[in-house]
Structure 1
Amino acid sequence: MSVQDPSEFSGPLAGIRIIDLTTVISGPMATMILADQGADVVKVERADGDFTRQLATRRGGHSASYLNNNRNKRSIVVDLKNPDDLEAVKQLAATADVFIQNFRPGVAERLGLGYDALSALNPGLVHMSIAGFGFEGPLASKPVYDPLVQAVSALTTVQAGSDEQRPRLVRTILPDKLTAVQASQAITAALLSRERTGKGQRVTLSMLDTVAAFLWASDMNGHTFVGDEMETEESQSFSDLIYDVQGGYVTISIMQDKHWEALAKATGRPDILVDARFKDAELREINRDARLELTQSIVKDIDRDRLLSDLEAAGVPCAPILTRKEMRMHPQLDANGTVVEYDHPTAGRLRQARGAALFHGTPAKTFRPAPELGEHTDDILGALTPPALSNAS
């Protein structure tokens, strides 16, 4: 993909300016989603930069983490303890569409960057604040990292399978990344509301609320009916839906009667259709551990590729378990155009996943490399009236 001048960028959010004071993952990933869709995101950093600039897996002075969450943005360096720089940020917010920050609750207000102060300068501003646990309550002031949110949200016990099993972390920073997606959606919803009403608004989002809402759709059924809550969550299964076969691993998802019948046909095991434990979907769920153990015993000696071919021919939902390398090279991702390559001026040739949504009427045509620290400070702050050039640049 090509890299062009910012003025040539297009997309559904072209013309929207976002002042981004977020750091690490949840905020920067959210604003990158919006930047990928055409928004002009001005990343406001300290003199030492976003923390992710310092992480491992580096080339050309850049960490992969920083590059993977900050493309299509512009960077300025300011010192928020310096009155001139703080005033410059306020001036930027006064003409922006969106202001987003993930300081600890109360910090933005103390700096004069809270909703009340900035909306007085810009009534049309969408002001987004992201917190870990919330903005009030016993945990609001605690420092937050992804594992802590996984713990308090019960995601770790969901991952374990039952309340009796040892809790397990999800081996990716799901709360951070899920919050990023939720934040980007909330911002676009607020922008749509402004389009209709002419008014901006305050938007607040916590990582804890995001994960709780996410889990409720499928993992809180035992706590949905008031008065009939489960005291202790039963084991979802003693094993997962990954099966060890000859030459690798596969996943097989049996949801409907026709899938169970197809599994029996594909593996030459018609006897499982007369087993009373598995006669319908409800019984297969009640006896899930026995079903999973039986399925494993059926497929364990079958070659992976042959098994997948037979299952697919019979109509059984299935897929191979891929490594990260296999994933990025899979022909389906190639057909989707998911993985793109482009050149960064100092980090070299990069490979990344494009934004997931494709806008066929207003496509975003280019990638802008993640900026050098403070790369656009003079251009952006120098255009303010009166100029407010940063002492930290």
Structure 2
Amino acid sequence: MSASSHTPVLQGLRVIDFSAMIAGPYCTRWLADLGAEVIKIEPPDGDHMRQRPPLRGGHSAYFGHLNGGKRCIALNLKQPQAIEVARSLAAEADVVVEAFRPGVMARLGLGADELRARNARLIYCSISGFGQNTELSERPAYAPIVHAASGLDYALGEDAEGRPVGSEVPMADVLTAMFATISIQTALLQRERTGSGTTIDVNLMDSVVNAMPYELQAAQAGISQPRPRYRPLRTQDGYVLVTPINSRNFVKLCAALGHPEWAEDPLLSSDGARFRNWSEYMRRIESWTRERTAAECEALLSSHGVPCSRYARIGDAMQEAQFAQRKSFAPVADGPYEYMTTCLPFDLDGSRPRPGPRVSPLGGDTAQVMREWLGLTEKEIDSLVQAKAAFL
């Protein structure tokens, strides 16, 4: 089936997105990529991410990456009229996604019970740091907090003083966006079978812990040694990563490095021995890589079936033919600017879902959505604007 004839799998699905920052917006952007009509509701001053660099003429490409393909409306949820508009939109929707601190939506009159009482088929997905009803539910939580609290930062390594390495990439947000997307699609399938909607509780803490199966099991087994760490190995002009994970890779590595005798060396001859003598193992490989360029190491080891890669920065990696062949990026227009964003990493019958072509300005779709979804007249829309409940 050609890309042009492929009907987006979620076409006809209506989603209301009350979330900001990363986890919720990325989830709903992926739903939009799959064909859903996503209405993003923002406060009068907009999602915080609209101010985050990189900026082009005041337009945040970071925001655009997370929110391309959505229609954006601006409501002041402190005003009763705006709350009623939000309720009316949810009554016409299939999915609501929110990422306020637990309890906030209910206090606004926009909680799952109230909205699902009006729309029994509604799938209501709440995203939070620690879940909706736990001892930590009220605790402020961004990705770095959850990285620290979950054990992820220590799992990523420690420096010479025992200080956790940590991660600059908001993995908790990205993982939670993925699990939220999975949970919503699971709930859609359940709705097909039962006719009823679902209330979903997905959180950053559980999402991160799900990404650490080895660490979770090692902690329960009382194993203090961390998993083997494939560290950067120095070359003549940079670094490479070599990952001979199993015995088959190890034998191929010995042949490629010109040291077949290592396969019989008691220090390295078994998985357990290599694990116990990991530093020596990496030292021997690095003694070989130091005498070659990174490109030579990558080419020679890969030709022998040994997993190896040069270290690349994202700007360099984007130039790889791999991405062009996979159609991994697509342009998005953001005002007068255009840049590339990622496509979902899978094909459906040979067709790769693509992101929406534009980023909507703050309040750019308010009037149109109210006309199309709620049937409001221009006079009624003007009244909401005058009351500072809605912003165009």
Q: How high is the TM-score relative to the length of structure 1?
A: 0.91
Are 1:290 and 2:287 counterparts?
A: no
Distance 1:37 1:163, change over 3 A: farther
Pairs within 5 Å for 1:60-209 = 60-160=57-157, 165-209=162-206
Q: Deviations over 1:193-220 (max 9, x none)?
A: 10111000100111001111221x2322
Corresponding residue for 1:375? 364
Number of residue-to-residue matches in the alignment: 378
Are 1:222 and 2:218 counterparts?
A: yes
Corresponding residue for 2:37? 40
Corresponding residue for 1:210? 207
The CA distance in 1 between the partners of 2:99 and 2:344, in whole Å, is 22
328-337 vs 14-23, greater mean Cα deviation? 328-337
Q: Which runs of 4+ in 1 moved over 6 A?
A: none
Contact kept in structure 2, 1:163 and 1:234, CA below 8 Å? no
2:277 is aligned with what amino acid? N
The CA distance in 1 between the partners of 2:54 and 2:6, in whole Å, is 29
1:229 is aligned with what amino acid? G
1:382 is aligned with what amino acid? R
1:360 is aligned with what amino acid? D
Are 1:252 and 2:246 counterparts?
A: no
Contact kept in structure 2, 1:12 and 1:362, CA below 8 Å? no
Pairs within 5 Å for 1:303-322 = 303-322=293-312
Q: Deviations over 1:208-242 (max 9, x none)?
A: 01111221x23222134xxx434xx32445x6432
Corresponding residue for 1:355? 344
Corresponding residue for 1:234? 225
Contact kept in structure 1, 2:343 and 2:353, CA below 8 Å? no
Distance 1:26 1:367, change over 3 A: same
Corresponding residue for 1:281? 271
Shift of 1:340: 2.2
The CA distance in 1 between the partners of 2:39 and 2:347, in whole Å, is 23
Distance 1:386 1:303, change over 3 A: closer
1:12 is aligned with what amino acid? V
Residue segments in structure 2 that go unaligned for 5+ positions in a row = none
Contact kept in structure 1, 2:254 and 2:263, CA below 8 Å? yes
* Equivalent in 2, 16, 20 of residue 17 of structure 2: 20
Q: Deviations over 1:99-128 (max 9, x none)?
A: 110010100111111111001100000000
96-105 vs 50-59, greater mean Cα deviation? 50-59
Corresponding residue for 1:4? none
Distance 1:334 1:315, change over 3 A: same
Corresponding residue for 2:334? 344
Q: Which has the higher contact order (CA 8 A, sep 6+)?
A: 1
Distance 1:163 1:141, change over 3 A: farther
Contact kept in structure 1, 2:236 and 2:293, CA below 8 Å? yes
Contact kept in structure 1, 2:335 and 2:359, CA below 8 Å? no
The CA distance in 2 between the partners of 1:56 and 1:268, in whole Å, is 49
1:274 is aligned with what amino acid? E
CA RMSD between the two structures: 2.1
The CA distance in 1 between the partners of 2:376 and 2:327, in whole Å, is 45
SS of the equivalent of 2:363 reads coil
1:82 is aligned with what amino acid? Q
The CA distance in 2 between the partners of 1:202 and 1:136, in whole Å, is 13
Shift of 1:358: 2.2
SS of the equivalent of 2:97 reads strand
Shift of 1:256: 2.2
Q: How high is the TM-score relative to the length of structure 2?
A: 0.91
Contact kept in structure 2, 1:45 and 1:75, CA below 8 Å? yes
265-274 vs 331-340, greater mean Cα deviation? 265-274
Contact kept in structure 2, 1:76 and 1:376, CA below 8 Å? yes
* Equivalent in 38, 44, 49 of residue 46 of structure 2: 49
Shift of 1:365: 5.7
Residue segments in structure 1 that go unaligned for 5+ positions in a row = 1-7
Distance 1:306 1:189, change over 3 A: same
The CA distance in 1 between the partners of 2:18 and 2:160, in whole Å, is 39
The CA distance in 1 between the partners of 2:90 and 2:262, in whole Å, is 65
